[in-house]
Structure 1
Amino acid sequence: MADEQLETEWVRGWCEQADAALTELMQSFQARRGFPPGRNVVARATNESHGATDKLVELTPIPSNLTTMYWVIGEVSLPDVDSGYFVHPASTVASDFREYGAVQIDGEEPALVFASDGGGHLFALAGSGRIWRSTTASWFDQFDLAAANLREFLEGLAGRISGQL
């Protein structure tokens, strides 16, 4: 369901599971890949990131699930998971919104870019709760449905981490 409410406790549990999988992945990364891993982290929210989230909320109406996520997670950096995945800090989302505005997707409420992959594709969360992925590394090209909601998106990231173990 696209409008399913994300709960803080669920996000905390997701962080713990992602951390455990990342720890396991990083322990064997160099032996399996032949080079050391980059900085792969699920960074928890801080007072500073909470302030950035508050400023983002003041700047633009953002879906409540994104606020819930940012209350727990400051950012996610997974450069060594597949081609890389990154959930941007709220301060970056606000800066990007000021520069580019919301993403326009046919038949959808304006969407807010909050993440990207290592290929430069963007992930945007629409007011409906659905997550959209750009087909190219552009704010202005087509976006395709990537996940029904933020929970499904985060579960997909966790699955990608676990899939590399």
Structure 2
Amino acid sequence: MPGERLDAEWVRSWWEQTDAALTRLMQSFLPTHGFPPGHNAVMLATDDSHQATDALLDLTPIPSDLTTLYWVISKASLPDVDSGYFIHSPATVAEHFREYGPAPMDGESIALIFASDGGGHLFAIGDSGQVWKSTTASWSDDFEVAAASLQKFLEQLGRLIANQL
């Protein structure tokens, strides 16, 4: 819903549900796929990741939903979910911002790359709160809306995990 912002308690609840679903998925992965899974986890925020989030805020204004996300989780590595999904740490987001600058998004005053998939597509969040996905594996190509909000993006990711059970 436009105007609504991500709530830290909702993110914590999402993490709990996702962690439980990932545990079940990893237990069934080898018998289902015939090979062992990679390391799949959503990591909770730490003092170090909070400091990295603060440093990112000092570097550039970031969408408030991204700040909320990073206050609860530090990153996610989900190589065995669909084609793979990765929520980058705040330190990685800052490093990429320094190297590449903001994602080129019409209608967004700032858009930060915060995630990627196993195919090299990038996900950015703009100051509007929308999540965008690159149309190719490139920092400079077109982006299209992938989710109306970061919460919707996380809900979609949760459904991808659940659909693999």
Kindly state the Cα deviation for residue 110 of structure 1 after the two structures are TM-superposed: 2.4
Aligned to 1:162: 162
Is 1:101 matched up with 2:98?
A: no
Aligned to 1:24: 24
Aligned to 2:43: 43
Q: Secondary structure at the match of 2:120?
A: coil
Same amino acid, percent of matched pairs: 64
One-letter code aligned to 1:98: R
Structure 1 unmatched runs, 5+: none
Kindly state the Cα deviation for residue 105 of structure 1 after the two structures are TM-superposed: 1.2
Q: Deviations over 1:5-46 (max 9, x none)?
A: 111100000000000100000001000000000000010000
* 2-structure distance, mates of 1:3, 1:57: 21
Check whether the contact 1:3–1:149 (CA below 8 A) recurs between aligned residues.
Answer: no
Aligned to 2:144: 144
* 1-structure distance, mates of 2:107, 2:47: 37
Check whether the contact 1:30–1:37 (CA below 8 A) recurs between aligned residues.
Answer: yes
* 1-structure distance, mates of 2:147, 2:83: 18
Is 1:73 matched up with 2:73?
A: yes
Kindly state the Cα deviation for residue 56 of structure 1 after the two structures are TM-superposed: 0.3
Aligned-pair Cα RMSD in Å? 0.7
Q: Deviations over 1:98-135 (max 9, x none)?
A: 00000111223321000000000000000000000000
TM-score of the two chains, using structure 1 as the length reference: 0.98
